[in-house]
Amino acid sequence: MGEVRGGASTAESPRPAGPRLVAIIGPPNSGKSTLFNHLTGLRQKVANFPGVTVEHRVGKAHVVGHHDVELVDLPGVYSMNPRSEDERVSHDVLRGRMEGLARPDAILLVLDSTNLNRHLSLAAPILSLGLPTLILLNMADDLRARGGKVNVELLAAQLGAPVALISAAKGQGLDAVRRFLTGGIGVPRPIELPVLLDVPACRQWARRMASDANYANPAPPVWTQRLDGLFLHPVGGPVVFTLVVLLVFQSIFAGARPLMDGIEYLVAATGSQLGSWLGEGWLRSLIVDGIWSGVGAVVIFLPQILLLFFFVAILEDSGYLARAAMIADRTMARVGLQGKSFIPLLSAYACAVPAIMATRTIESKRDRIATILIAPFMTCSARLPVYTLIIAAFIPEQPFFGPLFGSRAAALLGLYLLGFLAAFVTAKILKSSILESELTPFVLEMPPYRMPTFRSVGLRLLDRAMAFLKRAGTVILGVSIVLWILASIPQVNGKAPAIEQSLAGTLGRAIEPIIKPLGFNWKIGIGLVTSLAAREVIVGTLGTIYGMEGEASSAGLQKALHSDLTFGGAVALLVFFAFAMQCMSTLAVVRRETGGWKWPAIQFTYMSGLAYVCAFLTNQLLS
Amino acid sequence: MQLSVKNEADKAGLLALADLQEDSVGVVDQIDLPEELAGRLMELGFVPGHSVSVGRAAPGGDPRVFRVDGSEIALRRETSSCIYVRPAYEV
């Protein structure tokens, strides 16, 4: 072992122009995405879990008095021997083999300074690429606090490349990064590197580099051990988990209420104000009854969705998710999957689209497809408006499990469990038939617990709020307008027809025979058709239909629903939404990730069939 | 790749990592697993000659966390029973 690997032949040649495209790379959980956020300000998911950055993201870093530098945030890698799809992406980008992305002309290598003995082994393959590289030892504040130290100058001299201690979460030490981005740093000086495929040799090399730089290991993180003592406790762990889940559900219902009432009031007030400005006529009908009732009915649910994302963000950023995966591993093994599948499934509670992309960390192809197929059963945030509306309309609020946990929260929790159950049964069926394979090993790094930063959680909430409002402003707005038109023709004596007589009503009544056994009438039918685009569209659609009938606002919507749904039909509708595949974005991402229409077609047919049969049975049982 | 896979006769004095008590320490000697998985484990710190200490298990006893080189890695029993260590008393 021990061969001489150099970079390019010229060392230390200054690059006055500075790099244009810089790649950020490092082992999972070293804080790459946090650094990327800090430099670009661009919204980007950060989770305290190895391998969450499944797609490379590009952003622009603004450096004062200099042209913008493009940054690409790569998935975390342990080595340059790609074993998972994530690692392949990083590998391909750095070698200039990624389609649609030029080869980066400089590298920011981010390592966890509290774990240098291991993380430094990635420096060998990265330095051998011969690109200008700045090595960042992240979490310097943590290293200091736990009594560790390292001599940066010595390390830089040994590695032949500049080294800086930073804290990306606190924004400390980033001047060195900005200097690097403005140029003036040459390619690494050739040094003696180990044989890159020889893992033990690379590790020994890393240890030697660390100890020669007077690296002192920090003390083990006290808080991580204390928290694990609680969260992994045979009794305390499950108890804490249950309490957290109950708290989340109750706060989604009760905690979001004041804000939702506020938005509801605003929507109603602006609607009637607009109405009085516009005066009688078709324009007022379009804007107030069509758009305002439709879009407004959905926007009201923004606080609930943000609250849900807030909890998911805390769970991910704090490092609890990796423990949850570990606890879930045995259960997952029972259906033929492993703990790693649990993480995409948990994030599918927010949205199935990023969850399906996050399955790229699963090495086994069959496990990955099984996880993709069951992910849309997890209750995503788009179902929340539908669930909340129906539950609030049909289930009276009363204390259920002590005063802190009411019957409505219990009903909501029940629906979440229903989705979970469907996912598990489906996984079991898939893994014992078409996707049968040997149980894949479970190897997962447990990151230390970290306090989620305000910036990271805030950026994600902002991102989700914008995405939600954008959908309200595009898909739901579009559907509301089309629906208004369909509900306004054919004109009778120059006036809009009664909604049953309109084109929308005719279409709804045409499908009524199919959905009647489920307890749904033609109005719900119109909602089911529009919700094929996205689940929450049904709320906007019902808002528009009732708006045109003269009922508006969500309280009015709840009352109006009583004339169209029996209790059995309402529960059947909830069951239908729990199972049905009503999301174009999910189908599109499944097609992309599985490379064809086969799996999305199977998924759509299976989920819709299951939804229909179960809604039918529910309605028959309860009527 | 150097896997140091030896035959059964060479396992005298070795213990499977899975059989070590919580909080005890061993030195990795050999990994009897497919090359792909063994390589990943070595990247994570299970390198022959390096010490590993046994951490907490999930409720139910499996998987379990192992500490190597300052990081914590969770493994199932089926995996940790194929990693052979020489028992040690100090890190």
Q: For the segment A558-597, what is each residue's pLDDT rounded down to a tens digit?
A: 888 888 899 999 999 999 999 999 888 888 888 878 888 9
Min Cα separation A510/chain B (Å): 54
The pLDDT assigned to A334 comes to 86
Question: Span A91-95, mean pLDDT?
Answer: 85
Range ranked top by mean pLDDT from A58-62, A487-491, B12-16, B71-75:
B71-75
- For chain A, the average pLDDT equals 83
CB A324 within 8 A of CB A342: yes
| More confidently predicted of A548 and A327 | A327
Domain A3-219 CATH (choose: 3.40.50.300, 3.30.470.30, 3.40.718.10, 3.50.50.60): 3.40.50.300
Q: For testing the chain B interface, which of A84, A114, A116, A118 should be mutated: the one with the most B CBs within 10 Å?
A: A118
| pLDDT above 90 for A3 | no
- Nearest by CB to B47, from A200, A329, A339: name it: A200
The pLDDT assigned to A185 comes to 67
| pLDDT above 70 for B90 | no
Residues near A22 by Cβ (< 8 Å), separated by ≥ 6?
A: A61, A69, A70, A71, A72, A104, A105, A106, A107, A108, A181
- Inter-chain touch A199–B74, beta carbons under 8 Å: no
Show me where the domains of chain B are located.
Answer: 12-88
Unique residue bearing structure tokens 């390619």: A187
The pLDDT assigned to A126 comes to 93
Structure tokens at A569: 């039909």
Show me where the domains of chain A are located.
Answer: 3-219, 284-299+468-622
Min Cα separation A78/chain B (Å): 7
Q: For testing the chain B interface, which of A142, A332, A446, A450 should be mutated: the one with the most B CBs within 10 Å?
A: A446
Residues near A144 by Cβ (< 8 Å), separated by ≥ 6?
A: none
Q: Kindly report the backbone phi and psi dihedral angles of residue A410, in degrees, each rounded to the nearest multiple of 5, phi listed first.
A: -65, -40
Q: Kindly report the backbone phi and psi dihedral angles of residue A349, in degrees, each rounded to the nearest multiple of 5, phi listed first.
A: -65, -25
Q: How confident is the model at residue A462 (pLDDT cuts 50, 70, 90)?
A: confident
| More confidently predicted of A455 and A520 | A520
Question: Span A275-283, mean pLDDT?
Answer: 83
The pLDDT assigned to A434 comes to 84
Positive or negative: CA dihedral A382, A50, A151, A182 = negative
Q: For testing the chain B interface, which of A83, A232, A340, A342 should be mutated: the one with the most B CBs within 10 Å?
A: A232
- Inter-chain touch B63–A229, beta carbons under 8 Å: no
The pLDDT assigned to A324 comes to 85
The pLDDT assigned to A55 comes to 57
| pLDDT above 70 for A234 | yes
Q: Kindly report the backbone phi and psi dihedral angles of residue B73, in degrees, each rounded to the nearest multiple of 5, phi listed first.
A: -125, 130
Min Cα separation B13/chain A (Å): 23
CB B76 within 8 A of CB A442: yes
Q: How confident is the model at residue A552 (pLDDT cuts 50, 70, 90)?
A: low
Min Cα separation A186/chain B (Å): 29
Min Cα separation A461/chain B (Å): 30
B80/A contact by beta carbon, under 8 A: no
B42/A contact by beta carbon, under 8 A: yes
The residues that bridge with A111 in the sheet, in sequence order, are A137
Min Cα separation B39/chain A (Å): 7
Range ranked top by mean pLDDT from A355-364, A450-459, A605-614, B65-74:
A605-614
Q: Kindly report the backbone phi and psi dihedral angles of residue B83, in degrees, each rounded to the nearest multiple of 5, phi listed first.
A: -105, 120
A&B contacts, CB < 8 Å:
111
| pLDDT above 70 for A8 | no
Reported ipTM exceeds the 0.90 cut? no
| 3-state SS record for A102-127 | CCCCEEEEEEEHHHHHHHHHHHHHHH
Q: For testing the chain A interface, which of B5, B41, B46, B47 should be mutated: the one with the most A CBs within 10 Å?
A: B47
The pLDDT assigned to B86 comes to 92
Residues of chain A above pLDDT 70, percent: 91
Q: Kindly report the backbone phi and psi dihedral angles of residue A526, in degrees, each rounded to the nearest multiple of 5, phi listed first.
A: -60, -40
Cα–Cα distance measured from residue A455 to residue A125, given in angstroms and rounded to the nearest whole number: 32
pLDDT in tens, A373-413: 999 999 988 898 899 899 989 988 887 766 667 888 889 88
**Nearest residue in B to A216, CA atom:** B70
Residues of B in contact with A220 (CB under 8 A): 67, 70
**Nearest residue in A to B2, CA atom:** A198
Name the pairing type of β-strands A21-25 and A106-112: parallel
- Nearest by CB to B41, from A198, A204, A443: name it: A443
pLDDT in tens, A331-378: 888 888 877 788 788 778 777 887 887 787 777 888 889 999 999 999
| More confidently predicted of A144 and A401 | A144
The pLDDT assigned to A43 comes to 43
CB A409 within 8 A of CB A400: yes
B79/A contact by beta carbon, under 8 A: yes
pLDDT in tens, A298-326: 788 888 878 878 887 888 888 888 888 88
Residue A470: which H helix or E strand, with range?
Answer: helix A454-471
B31/A contact by beta carbon, under 8 A: no
The pLDDT assigned to A455 comes to 78
- Inter-chain touch A200–B79, beta carbons under 8 Å: no
- Inter-chain touch A200–B48, beta carbons under 8 Å: yes
| pLDDT above 60 for A9 | no
The residues that bridge with A5 in the sheet, in sequence order, are A191
Residues of A in contact with B69 (CB under 8 A): 115, 117-118
The pLDDT assigned to A400 comes to 72
| pLDDT above 90 for A24 | yes
- Nearest by CB to B39, from A81, A218, A444: name it: A81
Q: Which residues of A touch B (CB under 8 A)?
A: 78-79, 81, 83, 114-115, 117-118, 121, 197-200, 203-204, 217-218, 220, 224, 228-229, 232-235, 237-238, 322, 326-327, 329-330, 333, 339, 439, 441-446
CATH 2.30.30.90 is the classification of domain B12-88? yes
Question: Span B39-57, mean pLDDT?
Answer: 90
Rounded to two decimals, what is the model's pTM?
Answer: 0.77
Positive or negative: CA dihedral A594, A600, A606, A608 = positive
The pLDDT assigned to B11 comes to 66
CB A592 within 8 A of CB A599: no
- Nearest by CB to B72, from A200, A333, A445: name it: A445
Nearest alpha carbon to residue A567 among A424, A411, A458: A411
Q: Kindly report the backbone phi and psi dihedral angles of residue A432, in degrees, each rounded to the nearest multiple of 5, phi listed first.
A: -105, 10
